Chain A
Amino acid sequence: MSDAVSRLRRLTALILKGFLLLATALSLVAVLLIIAYITRDALPFFKLRGLGELFTSTAWYPSGRPPEFGALAILVGSGLVTLGSILVAVPLGIAAALALSDILPYRLRQTVKPVIEILAAIPSVAYGFFALVIFAPLLQNRGGSLLAIALWLIALPLGLLLIFMVTDAATRSIGEDMASFARLILAAVLAVILVRGLLALSARLTLLRIASGTNALNVSIILGIMALPTIISVAEDSLQAAGRELREGSYALGATRAETLFKVVIPAAGSGIIAAIILGVMRAVGETMVVWMASGNAAQIPSPWFNFLSPVRTLTATIAGDMGEADQVTGSIRYHVLFALALCLLLTSFIANLASEWVLRRQKRRLGGLK
């Protein structure tokens, strides 16, 4: 080709490369600027009130005379709600991703996956409204029975699975002809114990009176449901990406489906699954509307600390709720304390990201030459 044409081609390539570089730089600059502005406006609070009060006192009275800014209860509230949503979303999400990628028939997967992705498109204020208007009164009026039903739904399948594994392990040493009989007896005994235990526990749970339906349990469940589509989508994609060859190789070596899934596929997709969990958790941590509407916004540490049935206050809801009073000109310390809280949120996501990077790097090193 002629000189002029090739020069034009090189110039176009350069311009396009520069454009892409600019786009990347812009997003990097935006993130850095956000961090810079939040830190800049958070520092005056620490200069005026020091580090101690915010992190050790549970007295949050920003409009009091004199005002008190103890955010320990709020930090605990955020942590409790995040823990709750992890407990709800991670087992369900990973199990659903496994089912979608390896267990359910292909046609079912093609219909179910888009429906799950629709869940992700529901606006968070709709979730919050549902949590406040429908779920909270439900917890107050029928909370005990709901918890009992949940207990049965979770404990029965897990219990049965456990019984199978225990009877299998226990009768391994007995001879073949006696084994099936012994397994039957053992399984029956264990099953009776399981069902009676569950009946007693659920009877006690049904009597439980939940005083206030806007509490950490309400928010944890709703946040867990909100994080589910993210976790399922990303985990399922990474399970799929492990590849048919891996699974077929494992089956060819004589592994059962369970062994293939737990010893081959999941470790291979491990980094993707961890990424899915981190993404889902980040969505739950940063959620504002749901917690502001349905967590009760009570700045207290529940007693005991794992009492999910008591109302809590989170960082995000505090920032959203106190924003109106915190004008830059009229309420300077109240303005800066909100930025200090935002800095805490930012630091939490940093630490979570660093932790995930560390885990992924360790995983890659362990798997070595596999990928």
Chain B
Amino acid sequence: MKIFKTLLIIALAAGFLGAADANKIVVDGSTTVGPIAKAFAEYYMKLNPGVNITVSESGSGNGAKSLVNQSCQVATMSRLLKLNEYEAAVHSEVLPVVHVVALDGIAMIVHPGNPAKALTMGQIKDIYTGKITNWKQLGGPNVPIVIISRDTNSGTYETFETRVMKGEKIAKNCEYVGSNGAVRQRVQSTTAAIGYVGIGFIDNTVKALLVENVMPTPETVKDGSYPIARPLYMVTNDYPKMGSHLYRFVTLYLSKKGQAIIEEIGFIPVTSY
């Protein structure tokens, strides 16, 4: 009994000591920015073994919520906080400071066997509102279009809704999935599908379409010619104390190594070393 009691006390003490650690960073938020945060975390933890960084990807909306509830130190988001999220933050005495860590484009992807090559913004909107329902209306085979969208938790969805849908409602038969990876997985296995993902998620299992005759590449996003582009954010509560681990993690994107990591994942860095 006595041994049990002492073990319990030691365990509790260890738990408390661990919790009071300033070397623990919790990151939560977008599935688009998640890979960047994970790569940064891996690199940073290798340089500083005493630091523990955990990265979750539950959606930009969840990230903002966690930041406001102070259950994470960094919220990765692929959209800005909404007005009511800013209000909630102020209400909870959280001061969101936004860092633009990279640029991203949203690519429209189809199955590699789909003969489609290019779409206009108007055509994409018509597909997603349900005005165009069959690939033959776009010059393709007589197959009904399977539209795939991100769920409403997602910053990618918000960007698509504002830049492409311009507030119009998506058709009722649209399928919703939970992450960029899931969109790619659905499109690569469904010949009639069309979906949208961040540029970093294009690989040789899907085909990216030209939008307004512009290919989604880092160059076209940076010079603004690709119409569906957006910045990617990391949001902290107040500017992190300079020199602290949080500060060094969050400003990694300004370094040469940070730029290399971002380019490797497939996004567009804000620096140009």
Residues of A within 8 A of B (CB): 58-59, 61-65, 73, 132-133, 136-137, 140, 211-214, 292-293, 296-300, 310-311, 313, 321-325, 327, 329-331
CA distance A161 to B151 in the complex (A): 48
Find out whether the CB atom of B88 lies under 8 angstroms from the CB atom of A329: yes
Q: Which residues of B contact A212 (CB under 8 A)?
A: 146, 175, 190, 192-193
B84 within 8 Å of A (CB atoms): yes
- Which residues, 153 to 192 on B, are CB-close (under 8 Å) to A? 153, 161, 167, 169, 172-178, 182, 185-186, 189-192
Apart from the given pairs A298-B175, A321-B151, A322-B153, 15 other A-B contacts in the complex at a CB distance below 8 Å: A63-B152, A65-B167, A136-B189, A212-B175, A212-B190, A293-B178, A297-B177, A299-B172, A321-B152, A321-B153, A324-B62, A327-B88, A329-B87, A330-B88, A331-B84
Could you tell me the distance in whole angstroms from the C-beta of B165 to the nearest C-beta in chain A? Answer: 10
Find out whether the CB atom of A330 lies under 8 angstroms from the CB atom of B173: no
- CB pairs A–B below 8 angstroms (13 shown): A63-B161, A137-B190, A140-B190, A211-B146, A212-B146, A212-B193, A293-B178, A297-B175, A310-B173, A311-B175, A327-B65, A329-B92, A330-B88
Q: Which residues of A contact B84 (CB under 8 A)?
A: 330-331
Q: Which residues of A contact B167 (CB under 8 A)?
A: 65
Q: Which residues of A contact B178 (CB under 8 A)?
A: 292-293, 321
Instruction: Name which residue of chain B comes closest to A300, CB basis.
Output: B172
CA distance A61 to B152 in the complex (A): 9
Instruction: Name which residue of chain B comes closest to A311, CB basis.
Output: B175
Could you tell me the distance in whole angstroms from the C-beta of A115 to the nearest C-beta in chain B? Answer: 31
Q: Which residues of B contact A331 (CB under 8 A)?
A: 84
Q: Which residues of A contact B68 (CB under 8 A)?
A: 327, 329-330
Q: Which residues of A contact B192 (CB under 8 A)?
A: 211-212
Could you tell me the distance in whole angstroms from the C-beta of A145 to the nearest C-beta in chain B? Answer: 17
CA distance A310 to B177 in the complex (A): 15
The 0/1 profile, CB within 8 Å of A marked 1, for residues 183-227 of chain B is 001100111110000000000000000000000000000000000
B interface: dominant SS: mixed
Find out whether the CB atom of B88 lies under 8 angstroms from the CB atom of A298: no
CA distance A62 to B169 in the complex (A): 11
Q: Out of B59, B62, B151, B173, name the residue touching A311 (CB < 8 Å).
A: B173
The 0/1 profile, CB within 8 Å of A marked 1, for residues 81-120 of chain B is 0101101100110000000000000000000000000000
Find out whether the CB atom of B58 lies under 8 angstroms from the CB atom of A324: yes
Q: A64-B169, A297-B177, A321-B178 are contacts. A137–B146 as well, Cβ < 8 Å?
A: no
Could you tell me the distance in whole angstroms from the C-beta of B109 to the nearest C-beta in chain A? Answer: 16
Q: Which residues of B contact A299 (CB under 8 A)?
A: 172
Could you tell me the distance in whole angstroms from the C-beta of B167 to the nearest C-beta in chain A? Answer: 6
Q: Which residues of A contact B258 (CB under 8 A)?
A: none
Q: Which residues of B contact A321 (CB under 8 A)?
A: 151-153, 176, 178
Find out whether the CB atom of A298 lies under 8 angstroms from the CB atom of B172: yes
Could you tell me the distance in whole angstroms from the C-beta of B248 to the nearest C-beta in chain A? Answer: 29
A interface: dominant SS: loop
Find out whether the CB atom of B153 lies under 8 angstroms from the CB atom of A324: yes
Find out whether the CB atom of B59 lies under 8 angstroms from the CB atom of A329: no
Q: Out of B85, B144, B161, B189, name the residue touching A330 (CB < 8 Å).
A: B85
Instruction: Name which residue of chain B comes closest to A321, CB basis.
Output: B151
Q: Out of B82, B144, B153, name the residue touching A211 (CB < 8 Å).
A: B144
CA distance A300 to B175 in the complex (A): 10
Q: Out of A61, A65, A214, A292, name the residue touching B186 (CB < 8 Å).
A: A214
Instruction: Name which residue of chain A comes closest to B60, CB basis.
Output: A324
| Minimum-distance CB pairs A-B, first 6 | A324-B62, A297-B176, A137-B189, A324-B153, A300-B172, A324-B61
CA distance A140 to B189 in the complex (A): 8
Instruction: Name which residue of chain B comes closest to A214, CB basis.
Output: B175
CA distance A139 to B151 in the complex (A): 23
Q: Which residues of A contact B146 (CB under 8 A)?
A: 211-212
Could you tell me the distance in whole angstroms from the C-beta of A318 to the nearest C-beta in chain B? Answer: 10
CA distance A137 to B192 in the complex (A): 12
CA distance A210 to B180 in the complex (A): 24
Q: Out of B91, B152, B186, name the residue touching A325 (CB < 8 Å).
A: B152
Could you tell me the distance in whole angstroms from the C-beta of B227 to the nearest C-beta in chain A? Answer: 22
Find out whether the CB atom of B172 lies under 8 angstroms from the CB atom of A330: no
Could you tell me the distance in whole angstroms from the C-beta of A273 to the nearest C-beta in chain B? Answer: 37
CA distance A311 to B177 in the complex (A): 12
Q: Which residues of B contact A213 (CB under 8 A)?
A: 189-190
CA distance A56 to B155 in the complex (A): 30
Could you tell me the distance in whole angstroms from the C-beta of A214 to the nearest C-beta in chain B? Answer: 6
Could you tell me the distance in whole angstroms from the C-beta of A358 to the nearest C-beta in chain B? Answer: 37
Q: Which residues of B contact A311 (CB under 8 A)?
A: 173, 175
Could you tell me the distance in whole angstroms from the C-beta of B44 to the nearest C-beta in chain A? Answer: 26
Find out whether the CB atom of A132 lies under 8 angstroms from the CB atom of B152: no
Q: A132-B185, A211-B144 are contacts. A325–B176 as well, Cβ < 8 Å?
A: no
Find out whether the CB atom of A325 lies under 8 angstroms from the CB atom of B172: no
Could you tell me the distance in whole angstroms from the C-beta of A322 to the nearest C-beta in chain B? Answer: 6
CA distance A65 to B162 in the complex (A): 12
Find out whether the CB atom of A324 lies under 8 angstroms from the CB atom of B65: yes
Find out whether the CB atom of A133 lies under 8 angstroms from the CB atom of B185: yes
CA distance A336 to B148 in the complex (A): 27
Find out whether the CB atom of A329 lies under 8 angstroms from the CB atom of B91: yes
CA distance A325 to B185 in the complex (A): 24
The 0/1 profile, CB within 8 Å of A marked 1, for residues 66-79 of chain B is 00100000000000
Q: Out of B88, B152, B193, name the residue touching A322 (CB < 8 Å).
A: B152
CA distance A132 to B91 in the complex (A): 41
CA distance A150 to B193 in the complex (A): 27
Could you tell me the distance in whole angstroms from the C-beta of A67 to the nearest C-beta in chain B? Answer: 10
CA distance A254 to B192 in the complex (A): 62
